Amino acid sequence: MTRPAPLGFGLGLRPIYYEEILSSRPPVEWFEIISENYMTGGGRPTAMLERVRADYPIVMHGVAMSLASTDPLDHDYLRELKALAERIEPAWVSDHLAWTGVHGISLHDLLPIPYTRESLDHVAERVMRVQDVLGRRLVVENASTYVTFRESEMSEWDFLAELTRRADCLLLLDVNNVFVSGFNHGFDPNAFIDAIPVERVVQFHMAGHTDNGTHRIDTHDQPVCDEVFALYERAWRRFGPVSAMIERDDNFPPFDELLSELARLREIAARADAEGKRSEAA
């Protein structure tokens, strides 16, 4: 199995930064969009996306596919998603291992699932159906979680590894989510990183979170912390030059601050790469 070629280092495309991106053409290799923000077509968002797409590769990232729900897949949604992908030709399309609603009601959140064989059968079948509709492999992201289920029969990382095998899908490894969930549930985030199959990972998410002392919440409104940067280094050493990006969705800083975080990712990757090459030569 061949992974898509890495894109380098990217940022989330957010409206607050449209004008600066278009006027300055910043040193960013690619941008990720929230798919649902552009699926209706027309208007300023579409116009801005088309201008950015003329200069940069784009990745599509969704938050509403509700892969793990027991509701039927929303085929109107999937058709609109496919139409957007055909218009902008993204490097890949991703969404979360989560559910966002049931009985026709959207709860506007990424909700957790029990890691059982029954859940695995259910999600794998839905991922394969989504891939059939889209005509491409889906990239699935690990979500941050705040509760566990007594019914779970395996770890999250074992669930993800088996899901990729059964559905032949790919993984978006959210490094911050691994750290947040590890803190909340008391597992070693390094064990999570070490258990994920290398050949399945095509993208890293890096983001900030809120530390509430007893628990942490994936808020995307803070700078990336040192512990998450350290976990990224471990991930880079395991998975190699996977496309990596900074997510910021609130409390937006000056654009230069995001570029500084991106520069730190580049430095970590370059150092790990150089050390790896010295080890091979020794």
Sort residue 168 into left (φ over 0), alpha (ψ -120 to 50) or beta: left
pLDDT (0 to 100) of residue 1: 63
Q: Half-sphere exposure (CA, 13 Å, Cβ side) for 208?
A: 16
pTM for this model (two decimals)? 0.95
User: Which candidate, 259, 140, 113, places its Cα nearest to that of 205?
Assistant: 140
CA 174 → CA 16, 136, 141, 240, 259, distances in Å? 23, 21, 7, 15, 19
Tell the residue number behind the tokens 């506007």, with chain if given: 108
In the numeric block, which tokens belong to residue 142?
């690990």
pLDDT on residue 188: 97
Residues of the chain with pLDDT under 50: none
223 closest CA partner among 260, 180, 266: 260
- What is the pLDDT, as a whole number, of residue 115? 98
Q: For the chain, which domains are there?
A: 9-281 (3.20.20.150)
One-letter amino acid at 160 equals L
Q: Taking phi first (over 0 means left), then psi (-120 to 50 degrees means alpha), and beta for anything else, what does residue 55 get? A: alpha
Mean pLDDT of the residues in the chain = 95
- d(CA 222, CA 208) in angstroms, rounded, equals 4
In a 3-state reduction of DSSP, which class is residue 265?
Answer: helix
From CA 185, how far away is CA 147, in angstroms rounded?
8
Residue 18: which residues within 8 A CB-CB, separation 6 or more? 48, 52
Q: Could you tell me if 127 and 169 are in contact, meaning their C-beta atoms sit under 8 angstroms apart?
A: yes
| Distance (Å) of CA 129 to CA 33, 35, 81, 191, 244 | 23, 19, 14, 31, 27
